Each structure stands twice: as C-alpha cells, then as structure tokens.
C-alpha cells in the first residue's frame, strides 16, 4: 500500500520531458509537432546538454532559441524541457516548503502541486480495483502581472500549463495500472491566488503564478501481493 501522493509523484516522474525538433536553417526556427510546455524565457537543452533560452514559441509549430554558451550551436533533434517540480501539501505547508526548496525560481518551476486533503475510496476483496484517488492538481508557472495583459497571461503561461496537464494525463493513460480516465474537470486562470468578486487579490504561493487546476479521479487496479 503506497500513499496517494507517491502515486501522483510517480506519474509526474514518468512524464516525458523530451520533444523532437528539426532545425530549419532558412528561418532559424526549430520545427516541433508538439512544443509541450515550452514557453518564452525558459531554458531548453539539446541532447548534448547545451542550454538555450527560448525567445519565441508558436505552439506545436516551432521554437526559436538562442544558445547560452556557444553562439554557433543550433537547437536540433531531441530536446529536453524543464522537468516539472512536484509538491504536495496544504496551501500553507506548500507555500512554506516551496519557498525554501530553492532560492532560484527557475529550479522549481513549472510546479505540479497536489493539493491536500486527498480523498480516497478503497475497494474490498470482490473488486479488481485497489482505490479511487480524488485529486486536485495545479500546474503552475510564473507570470508577470506588471507587464502582461490577460491575453498574454493566457498565451505565455496558461497555454503551456494546459499542455503540461495534457502530458500528465497522457502519462497516466500510458500506465496500465490505472483505469482509463473518462473525464476530468479543469479550470484555467490568468492569475493564481485568492479570488474576490473583483479578481485575484492575494497570492497563495509567494510568487506570481498562472496555470491550470485539474480535478480528477484516478482509479488504480490491484497488484499482486509481495511476501
């Protein structure tokens, strides 16, 4: 019996952070059929571990990235996006733990946050199901409230975080210990925080974040006993 947050963390660890691109020398763009959660300002690595800064993204079409060390390098082939940072906990606990996790914001974003309290339903001997895990998961990345209009919040952050959520769901679909997910609910928000009638008035985590909140029930099948 493993604790529910460990199962979710296991899914996050199995998420594929790679994207395959082809550099187009005539435009200076690297063509990708799936840009996943790539976004402007973030770092992307090539297969040799060279870092590039993303300067332009056309979702699921191309990325323009400049090399950070050798200016002659071009982004081509298998590329690695930033690995999501996973956390679980209540609002207060997560804010504290996430704040002290790393001083550099880049090392702890994008954030996948499993909100506690997690509700579970167990099944008895007559069922092939082990449990239902009712989870609320946030997919968050930094935003710039002083510079961005709402449209930019959505383009620059919400859209990539929606893609991050999609990758999470795709990963879950590929793990056969889980029943296929038929439906889920999600909410996108330009600013992540405590809302009033007039909008967000206070951050929940100590950073300016945007993203998606997913509400999902994951059903796990039973596994064999280990003696």
Of the residues 91, 185, 187, 222, which one makes contact with another protein according to CB under 8 A: 222
Residue from 3, 5, 10 nearest 177 by CA? 10
Listed ranges 8-16, 39-47, 115-123, 215-223: which one lies at the site for another protein (CB under 8 A): 215-223
Which of these, 164, 165, 140, 144, lies nearest to 153 by C-alpha position? 144
φ/ψ of residue 27, rounded to 5: -110, -15
170 is a contact residue toward another protein (CB under 8 A) = no
What string marks each residue from 10 to 29 as x (binds another protein by CB under 8 A) or -?
Answer: ------------x-------
- The dihedral region occupied by 49, where left means phi > 0, alpha psi between -120 and 50, and beta the remainder, is left
Closest CA to 3 of 167, 116, 158: 116
Q: How far is the CB of 179 from another protein (least distance, A)?
A: 9
Structure tokens at 214: 């997913």
177 forms part of the interface with another protein (CB under 8 A): yes
Instruction: Check residue 1 for interaction with another protein (CB under 8 A).
Output: no
Q: Binding segment for another protein among 100-108, 139-147, 191-199, 219-227 (CB under 8 A)?
A: 219-227
Binding interface with another protein (CB under 8 A): 22, 128, 176-177, 180, 221-227
């Amino acid at each position: 019996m493993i604790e529910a947050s460990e199962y979710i963390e296991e899914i996050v660890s199995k998420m594929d952070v790679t994207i395959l691109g082809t550099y187009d020398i005539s435009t200076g763009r690297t063509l990708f059929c799936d840009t996943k959660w790539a976004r402007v300002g973030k770092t992307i690595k090539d297969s040799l571990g060279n870092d590039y800064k993303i300067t332009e993204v056309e979702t699921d079409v191309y990325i323009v990235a400049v090399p950070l060390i050798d200016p002659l390098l071009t982004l081509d082939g298998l590329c690695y996006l930033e690995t999501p940072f996973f956390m679980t906990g209540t609002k207060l606990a997560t804010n504290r733990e996430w704040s002290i996790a790393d001083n550099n914001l880049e090392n702890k974003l994008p954030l996948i946050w499993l909100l506690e309290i997690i509700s579970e339903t167990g099944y008895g001997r007559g069922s092939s199901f082990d449990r239902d895990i009712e989870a609320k998961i946030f997919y968050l990345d930094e935003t710039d409230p002083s510079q961005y209009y709402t449209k930019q919040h959505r383009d620059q952050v919400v859209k990539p975080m929606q893609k991050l959520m999609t990758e999470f769901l795709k990963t879950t679909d590929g793990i056969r210990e889980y029943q296929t997910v038929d439906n889920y609910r999600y909410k996108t928000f330009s600013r992540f925080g405590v809302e009033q009638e007039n909008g967000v008035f206070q951050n929940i985590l100590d950073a300016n974040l945007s993203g998606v909140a997913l509400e999902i029930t994951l059903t796990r099948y039973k596994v064999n006993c280990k003696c």
